Structure 1
Amino acid sequence: MPVKKQILSNNITLITQPVLNSRVTTFGFYFSVGSRFENEGEHGISHFTEHMLFKGTASKSNREISLVFDRMGGIFNAFTERENVGVYCTVPSESMENYKVALDTLCDLTENCTFPPEEMEKERGVVQSEILAVLDDPDDSAMDEVASCVWPNQKLSLAITGTSDDVNSITREQMLGWYKKYFTEGELVVIVCGRIDEEFLVETLQALSTHRPALEFFRHSHFSEKALWNVEKRILKARFSQTQIFCMYPLSSLLSFEEYISLLIFNSAAGETMSSRLFSSLREQSGLCYSVGSFYTTYENAGLWSAYAVCEKSNAAQVYRRLSDEISGFLENQISDEEIEISKERLCGSEILGETRTAFLMQRLWNFYSMGFPLCGTEKILAGIRSAEKRDIIEFIAKLLNEEKKASLVYGPSLSSRQKKEILCQKK
C-alpha cells in the first residue's frame, strides 16, 4: 500500500506505510540529536539520555514501561548514533489495544520522562560499563578509530558514548535541559509500518508538544562546519590479537537515487556477499583472513565507503596489498556483466524478503527520508535496481574510487618495522 508523508500541526513529520492484512505494527521515533550535536562538557549526553528514557515517566515506573511490551511479546529498544536517536518497537497489533498502548508509551517517553536521581546514578554505572565493553570489542573500537582517521579532531569523529569521565560529569539538570530541547521540543520524525489506525495515530501525536520543524536533510544541514576528509595511511597499535585493515574513500552525502542504486550494486559486488571479489580473493582463494568485506555510511554532509579485512598480524602487509589491488581492479577491469546481474538479483531478493518485515520497511523509509529520496514502496525500488545501466555504475565507481583521496587504517598488534615500511611504501 502507498507510503504517506504528512506534517502534523505540531510540526511532527509522520510517515506511514500500511501493510495489507498485517497483524504487526512497527513504530519508530527518530529525534534529531546525537554525539555530533554535543559541545565540550556535553560529550556522551545524547547516549546517556537515551538510556534514561526507559527509567520512568510521570505515570510509569521503569518496570511498568518494560511490562507494557513484555506482556504483549513486543520488541522495544533504542539506539544513539552520531546524528540521531531512535526509539522503536514492534508489536502484535491484531488487538488494537496493543497498538494504542505501545503508541501511548512511546509518546509518554517523548515528553514525560522524570529522570529519577537514584535511577540516574545506577544507569551512569551501566553506561560506563558499556563504554568499557566498546573498548574491549575490536569491531566497535575500530569503527571509532575509522572516524578519527578520516575526520580527525572534528565532532563527527567523537565517540557516541563519550568517555567515562564525560559521563561522570553529566548532571541531572543538564540532562533535563537536553531532553527538553532535543526530545520534547526538538525535531521528531515518526515512522509507522504495518497495521495502522491513522485517525488514532494522528490524534495521539498531535496531542504532543509543538516540535521544531524538521529540516529537509538533503537540502539543509544542522551543522555549519564542513566535514574535512583526511588523506592518511595510519598504523595504530591496539591490544587486540588480530589486525583490522580499512581502505576508505569519501562518499558524497548528496547522492541521487540513481547513484545510490549504483552504490548498492557496487558494494554488493565488492564485498557484501560470499561471491564478492573481496571475499572470493582474500578468503576463498588465498585463505588470508576470516573476515573481509565492504560497507558504507552517510551523514548530513559527509560519508565514506570502505573495504576491510581482519587478519593475523603476520599477514598484515600482504592483506593490505591484496585489498588495495582488488579495489583498484574495479577501475582497471571494471565491474562485469555477471557481477552486476548477481548484485541486482541479490538486492531485489533482499527487498522482496524485507517487504514481509515491518521493521525493515521502517528502517528503509528512514534511510530514504534522511537521504532525501522519494518515499517509495518495494515495486519502485525493484524497478530502480533492475533498470540501472552498466555505464552509470562504472561512472559512479570511477568517481568514488579516487586514489588521491584514499585513506587507510591498519589497527591491531604492533607490527615490525619491515611490515610498516611495506604498507606505507605501497603506492595504492
Structure 2
Amino acid sequence: MTQSARAQEPGTTVTLHPGDDGSGAVRRTVLPGGLRIITEAIPSTRSASFGIWAGVGSRDETPEDAGASHYLEHVLFKGTRRRSALEISAALDAVGGDLNAFTAKEYTCYYARVLDADLPIAVDVVSDMVAASLNRPEDVEAERNVILEEIHMRDDDPGDLIHDEFSTALFGDVPIGRPILGTVDSINALSRDRIHAYYRRHYVPSRLVVAAAGNVDHDAVVRLVTTAFAELPGVEGDLPAEPRIGGPAVPTAPTVRVVDKDTEQAHIVLGTAGLCRTDDRRFALGVLNAALGGGMSSRLFQEVREKRGLAYSVYSYTAQYADTGLFGVYAGCQPGKADEVLSICRDEVARVAETSLTEEELERGKGQLRGGMVLGLEDSGSRMSRIGKSELVYESLLPVDEVLAKIDAVTLDDVREVGRDVLTRPGALTVIGPFGDRDFTL
C-alpha cells in the first residue's frame, strides 16, 4: 500500500514505488494549491504519455446539467487565449503525437502521447486546454450539433445503446443511471453560461490529477506543469470538492426495460448491482467474471455460441464505482432466439451462484485476469492511465505485483461467497429489438 495524497504535505514529493534501478519508479508531488502530479518512469521506452484527470463526470450532474461533463470535454478542444482549435491539434500533429479525451461516470481525462523529447509540448498544450479554455458561445453552439449527432449515432447502434439502457434500468433516474452523453433535450437546454459555470466549479486544483508515464523525469514534469499552470487563469485558487449528488438507487425488485426497435439482432443485457471499487472481493468477482463470460473458453461462450450457435457475441462484464458497481451479461442474437439465449444465460448465472466454479475454471479465470492486466500495461499510455486513475479514485496505488498476488490468493470459497451475494441480488433485464410490448418479465 502507498500513502494517500491526503496525508502528504503540499509542496512535497514522495516516492510511492522505488522501482527496479529506476524503471517503474512512481513519484508524487502535491503542489500548494492541491494539484497532484504523479509519474512513472519507464526509461526503456522512447514515448511519454501525459494526462490530466478531472474528478468530475456524468454522476456529478443535476438533471439541468445532464451531459455537461461530456459537452465540456468537447468544448475544451475549441480554443484558449493562446491557441485556436486548429493550433491545439496542429501542435500535436506536428510531432506525430496523439491527443484525445474521454468522459466517464465519475471522471474526465484529457491526454496526449508523444515522443519523450516532445513531452514539453504535450504538457503545455493539454494544460492550456484544461486550465484556460475560453468556452466561447460560438464554440458551444458548434459543438452542440456534434454532440447531438453523437447521441443519434449511439441510438443507431443498439450494441452501444443497450448498456446505457441497462444502467438506467438498474439504477433508475439518478445521476449514475443516466447516459454520459445526456439527452437531446438536456443538450439543447445547456447554455454557454451554464457550461462555463460548470467548468469553473469543477476544474479546480483539488479535483485535478496530472499523470505522466514513459521515459520521463519526475522533477522535470513537475517544473513543466508548475510553469504551465502558474500562467493560466482557469484554475485560480482552490475550492472545496463538491460531494457527489444522488447516490445509486439499487432495485429492490427485478426491473425489465424493453426498447422496441426494428433491428436485425436482439440485444440483451441481464445483470445486477455489483461491487464498489474498494471492495476487497472485487478480485474474486473478477475471476468469476473471467470464467463465466470473459473469453472463448468461458461458460457463456461455450454454451451459447460453441455448442448451440445461437449468438456471435456473448460475454459478461463488471464495472466499479465509488460506492456501487454492476455485473452484466450481454448477448446479441436473432430476435427469434432471444428467449432461448436468455434462458441459457439465466441458467448459467444461477448455476455459478449456486455451485461456484470448478478448480479448472478457477485457475483459468485467474490466469486470464493476470495476463490481461500485465499485457494491458505494455505501453506508456496504459501506465499513465493506471497511475492517474488510481490517484484520482483510490486511496492508494497498489503495486502490480500486489495486485497479481491478490488475484492468485482467490479461492473457490471466495468465488462462491461473492457469487452467492452478487448474482442473487435483485437485478435488471434490458432488451432491444423488434418486440413491441412483449413481456420479458418471466
Q: Which residue of 2 aligns with 1:218?
A: none
Q: Which residue of 2 aligns with 1:51?
A: 74
User: Does residue 254 of structure 2 align to residue 232 of structure 1?
Assistant: yes
Q: For residues 368 and 119 of structure 1, do their structure 2 counterparts lie closer, same or farther at Cα, with a shift above 3 Å needed?
A: closer
**Which residues of 2 match residues 45-124 of structure 1 at below 5 A?**
45-93=68-116, 95=117, 98-124=118-144
State the Cα deviation string for residues 338-387 of structure 1 (Å, max 9, x = none): 11211222222223323321122223334544553641333332232223
Q: Counterparts of 1:237 and 1:118 in 2: how far apart (Å)?
A: 36
State the Cα deviation string for residues 160-184 of structure 1 (Å, max 9, x = none): 2222332223222222222222124
* 1:246 CA displacement: 1.8
154, 157, 164: which one pairs with 1:144? 164
* 1:328 CA displacement: 1.1
Q: Counterparts of 2:309 and 2:303 in 1: how far apart (Å)?
A: 8
Q: Counterparts of 1:256 and 1:44 in 2: how far apart (Å)?
A: 29
User: Does residue 220 of structure 2 align to residue 200 of structure 1?
Assistant: yes
Q: Which residue of 2 aligns with 1:424?
A: 441
Aligned letter for 1:320? L
Q: Counterparts of 1:196 and 1:143 in 2: how far apart (Å)?
A: 38
- Provide the secondary structure at the position in 1 that maps to 2:328: strand
Q: For residues 40 and 397 of structure 1, do their structure 2 counterparts lie closer, same or farther at Cα, with a shift above 3 Å needed?
A: closer
Q: Which residue of 1 aligns with 2:61?
A: 38
- Provide the secondary structure at the position in 2 that maps to 1:41: helix
Q: Counterparts of 2:134 and 2:259 in 1: how far apart (Å)?
A: 43
State the Cα deviation string for residues 44-63 of structure 1 (Å, max 9, x = none): 22211110111111111111
Q: Retained in 2: the 8 A contact 1:13–1:214?
A: no
Q: Retained in 2: the 8 A contact 1:265–1:343?
A: yes
Q: For residues 384 and 41 of structure 1, do their structure 2 counterparts lie closer, same or farther at Cα, with a shift above 3 Å needed?
A: closer
270, 292, 297: which one pairs with 2:314? 292
36, 51, 58: which one pairs with 1:28? 51
Q: Which residue of 1 aligns with 2:286?
A: 264
Aligned letter for 1:183? Y
* 1:278 CA displacement: 0.5
Question: How many residue pairs align between the two structures?
Answer: 411
User: Does residue 353 of structure 2 align to residue 331 of structure 1?
Assistant: yes
- Provide the secondary structure at the position in 2 that maps to 1:134: helix
Q: Counterparts of 1:248 and 1:318 in 2: how far apart (Å)?
A: 17
Q: Retained in 2: the 8 A contact 1:12–1:211?
A: no
Aligned letter for 2:138? E
Q: Retained in 1: the 8 A contact 2:175–2:245?
A: no
- Provide the secondary structure at the position in 2 that maps to 1:56: coil
Task: Return 5+ residue gaps in structure 1 as ranges.
Answer: 216-220
Q: Counterparts of 1:276 and 1:125 in 2: how far apart (Å)?
A: 42
State the Cα deviation string for residues 144-170 of structure 1 (Å, max 9, x = none): 111110111212122222223322232
Q: For residues 132 and 288 of structure 1, do their structure 2 counterparts lie closer, same or farther at Cα, with a shift above 3 Å needed?
A: same
Q: Counterparts of 1:354 and 1:147 in 2: how far apart (Å)?
A: 26
Q: For residues 118 and 301 of structure 1, do their structure 2 counterparts lie closer, same or farther at Cα, with a shift above 3 Å needed?
A: same
* 1:35 CA displacement: 2.0
Q: Retained in 1: the 8 A contact 2:285–2:418?
A: yes
Q: Counterparts of 2:154 and 2:205 in 1: how far apart (Å)?
A: 31
- Provide the secondary structure at the position in 1 that maps to 2:66: coil
Q: For residues 283 and 104 of structure 1, do their structure 2 counterparts lie closer, same or farther at Cα, with a shift above 3 Å needed?
A: same
User: Does residue 38 of structure 2 align to residue 15 of structure 1?
Assistant: yes
Q: For residues 164 and 3 of structure 1, do their structure 2 counterparts lie closer, same or farther at Cα, with a shift above 3 Å needed?
A: same
Q: Retained in 1: the 8 A contact 2:53–2:392?
A: no
- TM normalised by structure 2 equals 0.87
- Provide the secondary structure at the position in 1 that maps to 2:441: helix
**Which residues of 2 match residues 387-426 of structure 1 at below 5 A?**
387-402=409-424, 404-414=425-435, 420=439, 423-425=440-442
* 1:415 CA displacement: 5.7
Q: CA-atom RMSD, angstroms?
A: 2.2
* 1:65 CA displacement: 0.6
* 1:274 CA displacement: 0.8
